[in-house]
Amino acid sequence: MTVQETPVSRRLKSVKHIIIVCSGKGGVGKSSVSTQLALSLHASSPNTRVGLLDIDLTGPSLPRMIGLDGHGVHQSSDGWVPVYADAGREEEPRLACMSIGFLLKNKGDSVVWRGPKKNAMIRQFLGDVRWGDLDYLVIDTPPGTSDEHISLLEHLAPVHSRLSAVIVTTPQAVALLDAMKCLSFTRAVNLPVLGLVENMSGYVCPCCGEVSNVFSTGGGEEMAKREGVPFLGRMPIDPELVTVLDGGGGEYHKTPSATLFSAITTQVMAG
Ligand code: ADP
């Protein structure tokens, strides 16, 4: 049987790996992990080309976290031109970003849409954006398993074979319960899981370096072991990360995150 070409399949056939970042609940650091993962993949070699797509339509945080607040998307005869986070720094920019935040007139505007409109927007993000050749497309999703996730997979699963998910959780029992729901969603839709990230795992005191387990620690690792999915690593609560991300974007080079993101890259390459 021949698979029919669609605008989405045409755009995405030049994308090697698609990584969907999800979490059971909001505020656990999914957008932070997506942004830092895209930045570290981009930094992994001078030729690596990365896309970062934010499909959190009602709460887009990518423009600010990647340092592109206030930027807008341009329409060309060949579709939307993404906003490049490294424009002006590289001869040929390699970090393409897209978010509904780039399309809103005022960044405080709310998006109140039902499922079909969200689905149409996601189809446009996948099929109408000039992504070009990419080694990785990292997709930041809203919390939970909602309309956006279902739309995303309906568009991607029939046309792309190298799709996988990273699940982000914090170590508390309530967050882990929601992460478990996220994991069962991936199983129900046959989405391979690259692994689990435990964020906000301990607080490192900037004065003495002592680690306090504010939200406990290790729950994500235990869950990963129990469920037979790779544990990718943990990121402690770090005030510097908030300053970097909420303050307008940039890279964060602390050792735990560097180790974490290289573990994710290794899993992608192995997958
Ligand atoms: P989500 O996408 O899951 O809703 P975000 O990535 O938007 O979560 O993170 C929520 C807030 O927590 C942001 O202000 C972010 O800067 C902060 N944050 C995330 N991870 C950490 C961390 N490891 N240390 C300190 N602050 C963090």
pLDDT digits (tens, 9 = 90+) for 181-208: 999 999 999 999 999 999 988 887 778 8
> Cα–Cα–Cα angle for 97, 102, 105, nearest 5°?
175
Tokens standing for residue 269? 């390459």
pLDDT of residue 190: 93
pTM of this structure: 0.93
- Of all helices (H) and strands (E), which one includes residue 200? strand 193-204
Q: Which of 23, 57, 61, 242 to mutate to test the pocket of ligand 1 (most atoms within 8 A of CB)?
A: 242
Task: Determine whether the shortest distance from the Cβ of 29 to ligand 1 is under 6 A.
Answer: yes
Q: What is the 3-state composition of the chain as percent helix, strand, coil, each rounded to the nearest 5? A: 35, 25, 40
Whether 206 maps to a domain, the answer reads yes
**Is there a domain that residue 105 lies in?**
yes
* 57-81 confidence digits (pLDDT tens): 888 889 999 999 889 998 999 999 9
Amino acid occupying residue 213: N
Residue 128's φ and ψ, nearest 5 degrees, are -110, 0
Does 2 map to a domain? no
Determine the atom of ligand 1 nearest the C-alpha atom of 32.
6
pLDDT at 163: 94
Domain count for the chain: 1
Q: Does residue 61 line the site of ligand 1, with CB under 6 A?
A: yes
Domain with 126, as residue range(s), is: 7-270
* Cα-to-centroid distance, 58 and ligand 1 (Å): 17
Across the range 132-161, mean pLDDT stands at 92
Write the residue with the smallest CA distance to atom 18 of ligand 1: 29
Within a domain: residue 218?
Answer: yes
d(CA 12, CA 159): 8
What's the pLDDT tens digit per position in 103-112?
A: 887 777 777 7
Task: Give the chain's mean pLDDT.
Answer: 88
Helix residue spans in the chain (DSSP H): 7-12, 30-43, 62-65, 115-127, 147-156, 173-188, 219-227, 239-246, 255-270
What is residue 271's predicted lDDT score, i.e. its pLDDT? 64
| CA–CA separation, 83 and 97 (whole Å) | 5
Does 1 fall in a domain? no
pLDDT of 195: 93
Using only C-alpha atoms, the chain has a radius of gyration, in whole angstroms, of: 18
- CATH code of residue 244: 3.40.50.300
Burial 112-126 (b: 16+ CB within 10 A, else e): eeeeeebbebbbbbb
Asked if pLDDT for residue 3 goes beyond 70, the answer is no
- How far does residue 183's CA lie from ligand 1's centre (Å)? 20
Expressed in angstroms and rounded, the spacing between residue 196 Cα and the centre of ligand 1 is 16
Residue 237: inside a domain: yes
What does each C-alpha distance from 154 to 74, 145, 147, 159, 238 come to in angstroms? 27, 13, 10, 9, 37
Average pLDDT of span 129-133: 96
Count other Cβ atoms within 10 Å, centred on residue 164.
18
| Residue 270, helix vs strand vs coil | helix
